[in-house]
Amino acid sequence: MGNIYFDICAIPLFLIILFVCYSRRMIKGNTNHLFIAVVFISLITAVADLCIEIPQGSLPMSQASRVFCNVSTYVYLIMRNATSVVLLLFLLHLTRTSFLIRNKLVKIIFSLPYAVILILLMQNPFTHNVFYVSVETGYERGPLMLVLYIVALIYGIVGFAYSIFCRRYLPLKKWLSLLSIYLLAYTAVFIQFFSPDSLLEMFFTAMGEMLVMLAVMRPEERMDSEVGMLSWASYQWDLKNILRSHEHVQIIVVLLQNGREMRNYLGDQKYNEYLSRIADVIRSIKLKHTNRAEIYFERPGTFYIITEADESLTEDAVKHLMLKVGEDVRKDTNLGVRSETRVCMIRCPEDLNKAEDIISLGHKFSNIDSREQTVAQAKDIVNAKTFAVEVHIEDILGNAIRENRIEMHYQPIYDVKSGRFCSAEALARINDPEYGLLPPGMFIPEAEAQGLIIPLGDAIMEQVFRFVSEHDLDILGLRFIEMNISVAQCMESALPEKLRALQEKYDVDPARINLEITETTYEDISKIMLENIGELIKMGYSFALDDYGTGYSNIQRVNQLPLKLVKIDKSVLDEIYTENGRTILEYTMRMMQKTGKLLVVEGAETPEVVEMLENMGCDYIQGFYFSKPLPADEFIDLIKEKNQRILQP
Ligand code: C2E
Ligand code: MG
Ligand code: MG
């Protein structure tokens, strides 16, 4: 009997790997399934190996032991060879190259050696030419056992060669761990060749698989264990491999638009259950060839479904799936919420062939595609200028700041009493050499998200101060220029210093500048912001609150901040055509005037609206009716023409 202690040690190792897979919920997705299959088959192999050895401990054995040993040998040989096959399949899936064996002929060639083994084992009970177990001598090899070794060698060599080839798909550490499975198995076979009694093979296999689990599968990285789906990191990783291997796939991005709100409403645990249920419904789709699509999840609420290209779902199938997601999940979970989904279908590499672009599209399609349909096709979006800009906005913005390509446009503000323009708002644009003039909606949110709002704001302040110093506002009939500053800038402790320096550099009177606080996301007004505002007011600056009636621009802020001016947002004005809307607007204006604030209404586009506002007693109006924001020189021409006509009739 061989030394069975290594086999005994291998068994708990396999069990631990399986336990980790289950406890980390590494049980969904093709690659995970195959890895679990490799480990499970190895476990059975190790157990079978033990079951062969134990009865041979005392020869001659009983008839029952002989049968037991015989059956165990069949199980061992079937499973041992299956490990090599499944391991190779695992490699192909891990590197997203399984499409290489999708062709029927390749499939046959791939499975033929294993089929030979099965046929040999099936005929063995009658011929005993593979192996034989006798009561007296125990297990003995037959002449055809050599064929089994050759087949195992073929799968082993192909697998090893393929894992070397996989280097381009894997970082060094992962790749070495993967190689270790083969290297350890070869070492064990080598040792066993010289010392047949030391049954090292399964123990070494267990160590190799353990290494692969820790370094390659990395459950904490590959899985989002809270929802039991492949993680966002896996999506990025697999996407890169898909592009490297030139695999053709379809990616379906399912965005829960109200994901954040649902999480807040349900709490983390229930929200995770809800997401898992959605994933179950998505998983229930039947594909033609393979069993399942891979599903990845990104917080707070985006699913990525990847199918092979010839499994592509049609737009109708996706719409149907979304309906099913809506209905089934609502019925099953009974949580009283409804997800609002938007979907984008991407063919890769036909629509996009760079991982960053595909990732960006997944993040931004709902902003870019304004048509509001449930299912968007990437091919309809990716050629639009807005997409290219959205994808490259970080670079565009960084370059624009560095190369001084921030351009200010000015939009006049009309004074109802005097009938002329009394001030103007400075509005930033990027003048990009490739994409032309870009509006702030495209880069201000990005600047705020990327921590670039401060350098961007600095460039804007410089431009506005220069503009004010280059023109005599009195002669033009303008009292001040309104400059937008975001809350992040207001919180910068160096802001007063920066403005003081600009004031001196350009010799500008602070009374000529009104700072418009533009922000929607900050809930609290911080102490440093209030201190800054206090200091700036002392220096002679005045403040306006922008976009009143939206987001956090509310009564509380009007009350808390020392404001000279409040700007009512266009969305409030747009309600002017309804009785209620008119009442709200009128009383908002009264309230501001009563509390001593000047009032600008933004977004007046037609003469009727302007007339209605004038009749309501509005102080100042800004809108396309008077002028769009204009480049500095055109703006000056407009002001000269309009104001001088009124000043010198
Ligand atoms: P905002 O400060 O509320 O600026 C008014 C926006 O409304 C401008 O859009 C202006 O072009 C637009 N607008 C004015 N009249 C009308 C109208 O009659 N109809 C319509 N449909 N729109 C009108 P713009 O220039 O695209 O700016 C958008 C936002 O970007 C600004 O809203 C402001 O929040 C931000 N922004 C612009 N420049 C700067 C800046 O220099 N710094 C910061 N922090 N934010 C800026
Ligand atoms: Mg503004
Ligand atoms: Mg505004």
3-state SS of 465-523?
HHHHHHCCHHHHCCCEEEEEEEHHHHCCCCHHHHHHHHHHHHCCCHHHEEEEEECCCCC
Residue 523: predicted pLDDT: 62
On whether the CB atoms of residues 43 and 15 are closer than 8 A, the answer is yes
Domain with CATH 1.20.1070.10 in the chain: 5-219
Measured in degrees and rounded to the nearest 5, phi and psi for residue 563 equal: -105, 145
Residue 449: predicted pLDDT: 84
Atom of ligand 1 nearest to the CA of 629: 11
| Superfamily, domain 5-219 | Rhodopsin 7-helix transmembrane proteins (1.20.1070.10)
CA of 427 to the centre of ligand 1 (A): 6
Q: Residue 549 CA: which ligand is closest?
A: 3
**∠ CA 211-216-218 to the nearest 5 degrees?**
95
What is the mean pLDDT of each successive set of 10 residues along the chain, which is 649 residues long?
84 96 85 94 95 84 91 95 92 88 89 94 95 90 91 90 90 91 89 82 94 89 87 93 91 92 89 88 75 86 91 87 81 74 93 92 83 82 84 91 96 96 97 94 88 94 97 94 93 94 97 88 75 95 92 80 93 94 93 92 97 94 97 96 70
Looking only at the bridges linking them, the beta strands covering 480-486 and 542-548 are: unpaired
Residue 218: predicted pLDDT: 86
On whether the CB atoms of residues 618 and 566 are closer than 8 A, the answer is no
Q: Which amino acid is at 432?
A: D
Residue 250: predicted pLDDT: 94
Atom of ligand 1 nearest to the CA of 440: 30
3-state class (DSSP) for residue 177: helix
Residue 559: predicted pLDDT: 84
CA of 265 to the centre of ligand 1 (A): 33
> Does CATH number 3.30.70.100 belong to domain 226-383?
no
> Does CATH number 3.20.20.450 belong to domain 394-647?
yes
What predicted TM-score, i.e. pTM, was given to this entire model? 0.77
- The span from the CA of 20 to the CA of 263, in Å, is 28
Ligand 1 residue neighbourhood (C-beta within 6 Å): 411, 427-428, 439-441, 444, 460, 484-486, 516, 518, 546-547, 570, 602-605, 622-624, 629
Residue 138: predicted pLDDT: 87
Domain with CATH 3.20.20.450 in the chain: 394-647
Residue 521: predicted pLDDT: 58
Residue 496: predicted pLDDT: 96
Residue 388: predicted pLDDT: 85
Residue 25: predicted pLDDT: 82
Domain with CATH 3.30.70.270 in the chain: 226-383
